[in-house]
Amino acid sequence: RQHPLPLHILFLPFFAPGHLIPVVDMAAIFSARGARCAILTTPVNADIIRPAVDRANDSNCHGTDAPSPAVDISVVPFPDVGLPPGMENLMSLTPAHGADYNFKFIQAAQLLREPFDRFMTANRPDAVVSDSFFSWSPDAAAEHGVPRLVFLGSSVFARCCSETMLRTNPPETTTNPDDDPDDDARLVSLPGLPHRVQLRQSQMMDPRKRPAMWAFHKENDAADQRSFGEVFNSFHELEPDYVEHFRTTLGRRAWLVGPVVLASKDMAKRGSTDKAHVTDDCLRWLDAKPAGSVVYVSFGTFTSFLPAELRELARGLDLSGKDFVWVISSGTDGSEWMPEGFAELMARGDRGFIIRGWAPQTLILNHPALGGFMTHCGWNSALEAVSAGVAMVTWPRYADQFYNEKLIVEVLRVGVSIGAKDYASPRETHAVIGGEVIAGCIGRLMGSSEEGDALRKKAKDLSVKARSAMEKGGSSYDDVGRLMDELMARRSSGEVTRAA
Ligand code: UDP
């Protein structure tokens, strides 16, 4: 069906790789289906996403005379919140920056309303897809008569869990939270979900310890509920019970359009520094390895480890006997943590490949040599593993990661839990997990045993379903079409979203 004017969608992502990357892929997906998309962001973030946007536009250009719908980047200044010039993305935070710096980014998100309003006045789109972190955006969009869709980049499962947690404020436990952290009586049940979901209290955000963060989430949640609906980077077949729960029990509208990585034109997902030689060297190293023999170890874009944790991780990788690709955040000095013999092990060159800084994650996950992924359970990473058919060792730290671990290990059964117990933001201290435990989990995941075979088979099965979901006629393909039709019908009927 040919529409006279393409649907116009504005995307407003938060300033962090885990939020920006899927938004670029999503804009490319809508654009390939005939929408005109704009991504509103700041100069440094625009530079980060531009290569991926250019690649998407090149491949979406259909070679006809008609102007092809494209993804545009609308660049606005980064709000002045006292951050050093050029610091516009959470990725640039280092352990030397205090916790206040996180809040400066949240503050900057609040100040983006003014440039957003200017954009809306000049180019009123048919819909706004904005990050949950922009709690002002449903009302600001409504002032222009435009519906706002939420995008957070989380699983539907994690969304259902955090909703339950926020609404029950938080759920009751039966014992004093200051008791022994190993006391199982401190397990918290999230009521009303399709499965019995229990977490340790120490794995959940404690509103008393983080009142500002709790208030921020409450405010975002209230704004999300005032929105037109939510777009998810997930697919129906992955978490059908939770899609049903979100839609029916929570009464929210949802479209699942992923895994967006499967439509990505930017598989290397390079950051601001383009290190093509790292990609080439790493892939060549993997080429020499047997199928399914290598474990990939990476914890996303902010998680930092204490020297003692790095030491145990290095010991665990050594003890596991498996070959590994390990991404270590740049800036750590090996002399602080390298266990005895590890330098020699690395000097051999055949056991491990260390990447300092940005890794070509999706290329690594899709390499035939990959046999397992040790992950912090950031949703992009988890879904990229599912898409590639790779089973996981789960090592969550904070945000939605403990929820995602439950989904991966207990519901989907494609992972082995390392047993992390402490919710702690990237820069906080954690209980150190021993090398023997780490090696044991890698062995369970990658060794030939009934458990390992079942995990790996389930991961392969899910990747087949993920691919089908994105193909023409698949569930995610259809959700993209349904959402576009619905937005187009609103335009034709002249329906406007009214400010509350
Ligand atoms: N990523 C990457 N190379 C790296 C680190 C991360 O390509 O060295 C990508 C990864 O593929 C994923 C995103 O960055 O798409 C990280 O998002 P995730 O939700 O997994 O974790 P976060 O960093 O938000 O905690």
Amino acid of residue 265: K
User: What is the distance between the alpha carbons of residues 170 and 191, in angstroms, rounded to a whole number?
Assistant: 11
Closest ligand 1 atom to 91 CA: 23
Q: How far is the CA of 377 from the centre of ligand 1 (A)?
A: 10
Mean pLDDT of 282-310: 94
| Residue of 361, 365, 387, 395 to test ligand 1 pocket, by largest number of atoms within 8 Å of CB | 361
Residue 361 pLDDT more than 90? yes
Q: What is the per-residue pLDDT for 330?
A: 65
Structural contact between residues 238 and 465, judged by C-beta atoms closer than 8 angstroms: yes
Q: What is the per-residue pLDDT for 184?
A: 45
Q: What is the per-residue pLDDT for 180?
A: 55
Q: How far is the CA of 330 from the centre of ligand 1 (A)?
A: 15
Q: What one-character-per-residue DSSP string does 209-234 give?
A: T-HHHHHHHHHHHHHHHTSSEEEESS
| Residue of 381, 398, 407, 425 to test ligand 1 pocket, by largest number of atoms within 8 Å of CB | 381
Amino acid of residue 377: C
Q: What is the per-residue pLDDT for 202?
A: 87
Q: What is the pLDDT of residues 233-266, one digit of tens each?
A: 999 999 999 999 999 999 999 999 999 999 987 7
Mean pLDDT of 128-154: 97
Closest ligand 1 atom to 357 CA: 8
Q: What is the per-residue pLDDT for 64?
A: 55
Q: What is the per-residue pLDDT for 277?
A: 86
Q: How confident is the model at residue 68 (pLDDT cuts 50, 70, 90)?
A: low
Q: How far is the CA of 340 from the centre of ligand 1 (A)?
A: 30
Structural contact between residues 282 and 353, judged by C-beta atoms closer than 8 angstroms: yes
3-state secondary structure of 187: strand
Please give the angle made by the CA atoms of 25, 29 and 30, to the nearest 5 degrees: 120
Q: What is the pLDDT of residues 100-131, one digit of tens each?
A: 788 899 999 999 999 999 999 999 999 999 99
Report for 72-76, 213-217, 303-307: range of highest mean pLDDT: 72-76
Mean pLDDT of 176-185: 50
Q: What is the per-residue pLDDT for 66?
A: 53
**What's the mean per-residue pLDDT of the chain?**
91
356, β-bridge pairs = 328
Active site residues: 19, 131
Q: What is the per-residue pLDDT for 329?
A: 78
CA 313 to the chain's CA centroid: 23
Q: How far is the CA of 380 from the centre of ligand 1 (A)?
A: 6
Q: How confident is the model at residue 187 (pLDDT cuts 50, 70, 90)?
A: confident
Alpha helices, DSSP H only, in 33-136? 43-60, 100-111, 113-122
Mean pLDDT of 42-51: 95
Structural contact between residues 232 and 257, judged by C-beta atoms closer than 8 angstroms: yes
In this prediction the pTM is 0.95
Q: Tell me which DSSP letter residue 248 carries.
A: I
* Lining residues, ligand 1, CB within 6 Å: 17-18, 21, 269, 298, 300-302, 327, 358-359, 361-362, 378-381, 384
Q: What is the per-residue pLDDT for 155?
A: 98
Residue 228 pLDDT more than 60? yes
Closest ligand 1 atom to 302 CA: 23
User: What is the distance between the alpha carbons of residues 13 and 256, in angstroms, rounded to a whole number?
Assistant: 17
Q: What is the per-residue pLDDT for 223?
A: 97
Q: How far is the CA of 381 from the centre of ligand 1 (A)?
A: 6
Q: What is the per-residue pLDDT for 177?
A: 45
From the list 359, 355, 352, 364, the residue with the least C-alpha distance to 320 is 352
Buried b (16+ CB within 10 A) or exposed e, 139-149: bbbbebebbbb
Mean pLDDT of 278-289: 94
Q: How far is the CA of 192 from the centre of ligand 1 (A)?
A: 31
Alpha helices, DSSP H only, in 226-366? 240-244, 276-287, 307-320, 342-348, 361-365
Mean pLDDT of 48-76: 82
From the list 282, 299, 293, the residue with the least C-alpha distance to 442 is 293
User: What is the distance between the alpha carbons of residues 260 and 387, in angstroms, rounded to a whole number?
Assistant: 10
| Residue of 272, 279, 301, 363 to test ligand 1 pocket, by largest number of atoms within 8 Å of CB | 301
Q: What is the per-residue pLDDT for 272?
A: 42
The residue whose CA is least distant from atom 2 of ligand 1 is: 361
Q: What is the per-residue pLDDT for 172?
A: 62
From the list 387, 446, 451, 397, the residue with the least C-alpha distance to 419 is 397
38, β-bridge pairs = 10, 72
Pairing of strands 415-417, 8-12: unpaired
Residue 98 pLDDT more than 80? no
Q: Which residues, other chains included, contact 147 with Cβ-Cβ below 8 Å and sequence gap of 6+?
A: 127, 128, 141, 227, 228, 487, 490, 497
Residue 63 pLDDT more than 70? no
Report for 55-64, 371-380, 419-428: range of highest mean pLDDT: 371-380
